[in-house]
Amino acid sequence: MKVLVYSAKDFEIDHLKKMNNGKHKLKFVPETLNATTAVMAAGYDAICIFSNDDASLVVLEILWDLGVKYITLRSTGYNNVSVKSAKRIGLKVAYAPEYSPHAIAEHAVGLALALNRKLIQANVQVQQFNFLLDNLIGSEMFGKTVGIFGTGRIGSILVKIFHAFGCKVLATDIQRNQYLENHYEVEYVPLEVLCQQSDIISINTPLTYETHHIFKESLFSTMKNGALLINTARGGIVKTDDAIAALKSGNLGGYATDVYEHERGVFFKDNGKSGISDELLKELIGMSNVLLTPHQAFATKEALERIAETTIYNIDCWEEGRTCKNELGFQTITL
């Protein structure tokens, strides 16, 4: 099968080539998929895309007219794909559901620790030979209340990690996980209650119509003063303007995020020479109580291998006419 791999990055190409082992004709291009670059897929049976590629209705229609029949994602989230439209048109879409929940969960904990103990600020200070502790006072995790918004694969791992720290764990999800309740003393509560009682809140839910901008002014105003918010899910779940206002007012003590709602076209690029024009992102980065990483939570050797393995598996299934277990219908994913 001829496959065009959009948004190909140097660190993942070798993994994909190794897993493919010459079975399919893969072409790697750095361009992201959008209405303009979709024409590059002419003559290809399938395309492979990443989370920042645009697979909206207009793009899907162009791809179908060009003869593309299959789309495989190198990500768990698929909010960038109009799945219903793809099914109606006739395009088959598959994703990478379980490449490494541990990678995401461990990054979330790292963000929480770094923000809480001011590790980035400490590193900057000592590089300037400043060894004062006045601005580096943090808090212990032990005894704190941690709220997990979404107890799927990633959220469940976070429950276990924070429980091991000696934290009380609250959770919000559509479905309760009885195993977590019985073995880790998790208490399921409404999101508003979770925000009112938690010292640290971790977002681990998909971006959907219901969760888009669910963290906004009305929710920030209910939080404990000084609470920390950790986001390794999707940027659009947090309304950035309101988060900045909450950080300034003190309703939110700190925000550590691996994602940003307007990251398309900015992340996964070196903008050092050209700079960025997004004033909101500039303001966010410039705040002392914000820690932002460039959508790197998934970036482990183990995760990249599993993504490549799943990607080739999806293509193999279509090539061989087999049922692909990762093909999307209308099921909801669980982070």
Residues tagged active-site:
234, 263, 295
- Structure tokens given for 87: 């099914």
According to DSSP, the residues that pair with 292 across neighbouring strands are: 257
**Residue matched to tokens 């990054």:** 107
Contact of 170 with 181, CB cutoff 8 Å:
no
| 3 state SS of 135 | coil
- CA dihedral over 57, 61, 63, 64, signed as positive or negative: positive
Cα torsion 177, 180, 183, 189 to 10°: value is: -90
Q: What are phi and psi of 162, to 5 degrees?
A: -70, -30
Distance of alpha carbon 131 from its chain centroid, rounded?
35
- DSSP annotation of 236 reads G
Q: Walk across the sheet containing 252-257 and list its strands.
A: 187-188, 168-172, 145-149, 200-203, 227-231, 252-257, 290-292
